[in-house]
Amino acid sequence: MKQELFTELCEIAGTVLQDEPMSRHTTFRIGGPADYFVVPDTLEALMNTVRFCREKQLPYYILGNGSNLLVGDGGFRGIMIQVYRNLNGISADGCELTVQAGAMLSVIAKKALGLGLTGLEFAAGIPGTLGGAVVMNAGAYGGEMKDVLVETTVLTPEGELLVIPAEQMEFGYRTSVVEKKHYIVLKAKLRLQPGDEETIRARMEELKVKRITKQPLDLPSAGSTFKRPEGQFAGKLIMDAGLRGFSVGDAQISEKHCGFVVNKGGATASQVRELMRQVSECVEAKFGVKLEPEVKMLGEF
């Protein structure tokens, strides 16, 4: 059965690997094996793979760069579909960019810079893809995806193609209609503004320096570990709770920025999850604030 499934996937999906360690494909560098790891080479192959999974009632997950994700040590029982390696096209028409879901935000921002377009500087250092950024309305330093999005093309759970205009995206803090309705982002259209190339570059450099100074970019992490509580900052609450540098095994609250959990080298998913649990309990006990994970947890722990 397993070989038959592998053969069928190869026929429709492009590159297919079996028992692929997810530690190779997440920014945390943590995660057990996925039963099947699929890298579609076209949007059609992606759509066919998703439809195949639904027809066969197989669990699947759409993977970008693997940021903001913690995969369990037991791995993922199903089909992991990675989009960023192949489905990353970017085309320009005046001030508008049409971008496939797998394009890295850093690459899109660099493309905009080269075209003298402003509006995406905030995204230059976010280690994720366009698809994931749209799903969660990613943002940093005062900018969010909702500020530049025109429309999103998605695949629905029923296998239909939908084009959703920005005003119907139901954007909120780290959420959108795409997340709520379990749509899959295929591509999106962004509208930027003409700008001065040197000014754009200077702003990107300014934000890069801020990230290097304030964030633990030297160690694997999944970015901000907890969502920002209303009127508060998760990192400050964790710091004020005296948890800077607190560890469970090789999982540690960053000494540089308490909003990040980092992998000191050999952290397991179970250690990260336990660390998050203890931190959340401690912060709630001290300040009455419940920290909600921003990191998505997937697979068997």
Contact predicate 68/128, CB 8 Å: yes
Helix residue spans in 183-245 (DSSP H)? 197-214, 234-240
Contact predicate 192/118, CB 8 Å: yes
Which phi and psi angles does 44 have, rounded to 5°?
A: -65, -40
Q: What burial letters (b/e) apply to 43-56, b meaning 16+ CB within 10 Å?
A: bebbbbbbebbeee
The continuous run of DSSP H or E covering 155 comes out as: strand 149-155
194 CB burial (10 A radius; 0-12, 13-18, 19+): exposed
Residue with tokens 């492009």: 14
Active site residues: 174, 224, 294
